[in-house]
Amino acid sequence: MGEVTGAQVIAEALRAQNVEYMFGIVGVPVIEIAMAAQAAGIKYVGMRNEQAACYAASAVGYLTGRPAVCLVVSGPGLIHALGGMANANINCWPLLVIGGSSDQNKETMGAFQEFPQVEACRLYSKFAARPSSLGAIPSVMEKAVRSSIYGRPGACYIDIAGDMVTASVDKSGVRVVPCCPPPPLSLAGPGEVAEAVSVLKASKRPLIIVGKGAAYGRAEDEICQLVELCGLPFLPTPMGKGVLPDDHPNCVAAARSRALLEADVVVLLGARLNWILHFGHPPRFSPQVKVIQVDLCAEELGNNVKPAVALLGDVRGVVAQLLGCFRKDTWKYGSDTEWWKSLREKMVANEKVSKALALRSSLPMNYYTVFHHVSQLLPRDCIIVSEGANTMDIGRTMLHNYLPRHRLDAGTFGTMGVGLGFSIAAAMVQSDPSTRQRVVCVEGDSAFGFSGMEVETICRYKLPVIIIVVNNNGIYSGVDVETWKEMAKMGDLTTMAPPVTLLPEARYHEVMSAFGGRGFLVRTPRELREALSLSLDDWERPSLLNVLIDPTSDRKQQEFPWLTRSNL
């Protein structure tokens, strides 16, 4: 039947598992793997940093439900990718990392970039293995892909010895392993479903919380039917935005603090009671709140708060079970209740404060002014990637999402530096030019610095990405140009400059221009609108808007700190 190389075996095994995308940085010993992957029909995207490559691959897993590959070299190359693996694992996104490693006959000898890679990756993945032979590769690949998408999704690692890449084997000695089927769907017990329905019907102040697990689980149609059939208010988590449109009449995101604090029954759909939801504890939640928890991971049930009802199963299937019960007696929560009146009152008050901040005419602009004008111009179907501190948090409330899986941000791990990798992934998965959607990456100047060189990747592949850098000269806050000059006159900036400061008015837009994209320096609302309109009209070149804002700009006063800390 002829001989095939290890690189070809790897590529064909990946194609057999319906892997379509590979991101990475090539070098010894993985160059041949990337070339074989391209020959097998896998799209290869060469990145500038392994961490960004891993972020991109993990985002493909979230957006498509099938893992993409992050291909890295040995030692430092793999170590750079560990941040992306950890982010994928904690976000519960499928990811497959393939790392080259030292030749088998040089182990323990101090080989080039020798490192205990399989052992290291076990901390950051669901599954880590090193195939013992070329013939074993297809089976290991299948198990890695299956492990990444079955149960709670996550990262998996496969280690490939350098001498296996170029070694040859008779094709008849390589067993073909068919593609693993989609994950089996599990449903909650009928008794628990009936109990959940009973608890919800008895509620005076119900609240549905929609998490990114619901987005990943493609549960948008069922959740929309549940919300509208029963008349329930819902609150999306940051990446749960868009499962139902942010402008849906039942969305109470603008009254988030009140909704969490006063709800007496909370239904968790694909969301975890972690730091994002303040662990379900007082003072953000009522001590008497009853939680109905829907999760596909049994270990998550009862984490931090003992649920009144625990529904173990696929979120889409479980919501369909709930719908079946509610349709039998057409129960509906009243829209004229005191709970709804209280929520609407708070939403109006909060929106009034945000609007007042947005319409301030003073320069430099503040966050609210920037997001007000951006939100008016963004297409309804655009994918919003967001990262940064205030940039991400204020943007979450002002930049609306209307479709599921159309927001990507720092996620459960709170990872900075994901923005450009996520943007590249979101642009790559839109293969049909007739239906492609705009990808708009909105990030702070500090966040941009983590992976700014990926601008070259965006330009090289001519991806229709618009980057908006909201530039406040620092991390959380910076200083203006004059203050910076005064500090420089007073002494050594390493002892004078606050640790949160960055170079004032840095010309980030020129980075985009350097690689052939369009760069805009923006100081006023008019310049912002003009630059964004031009960028949205241009599908041929990516753009970067460097939006200079007041270095002291901050969010409106919060009822609670964004990160609830224990007083113990």
Set out the domains of the chain in order of their start, with CATH numbers.
3-173 (3.40.50.970), 190-345 (3.40.50.1220), 360-548 (3.40.50.970)
Q: Which whole-number Å values give the CA distances from 348 to 231, 341, 400, in the listed order?
A: 19, 11, 17
Give the residues across from 69 on adjacent strands: 22, 96
pLDDT at 567: 38
Residues of the chain with pLDDT below 70 are 1, 431, 556-568
DSSP-derived secondary structure for 404-435: TT-EE-STTTT-TT-HHHHHHHHHHT---TTT
Count how many residues are written for the chain: 568
Q: Which residues of 534-568 are buried (b: 16+ CB within 10 A; e: fewer)?
A: ebbeeeebbbbbbbbbbbebebeeeeeeeebeeee
Q: CA–CA separation, 8 vs 5, rounded Å?
A: 5
CB neighbours of 416 closer than 8 A, spacing ≥ 6? 387, 388, 410, 446, 447, 450
pLDDT at 568: 34
DSSP 251: B
CB neighbours of 187 closer than 8 A, spacing ≥ 6? 313, 314, 317, 318, 321
pLDDT at 76: 95
**pTM, 2 dp:** 0.95
pLDDT tens digits, one per residue of 143-182: 999 999 999 999 999 999 999 999 999 988 888 899 999 9
Phi, psi of 159 (to 5 degrees): -100, 130
pLDDT tens digits, one per residue of 487-520: 998 889 998 899 999 999 999 999 999 999 999 9
DSSP H or E segment with residue 308: none
Nearest to 546 by CA among 517, 507, 518, 511: 507
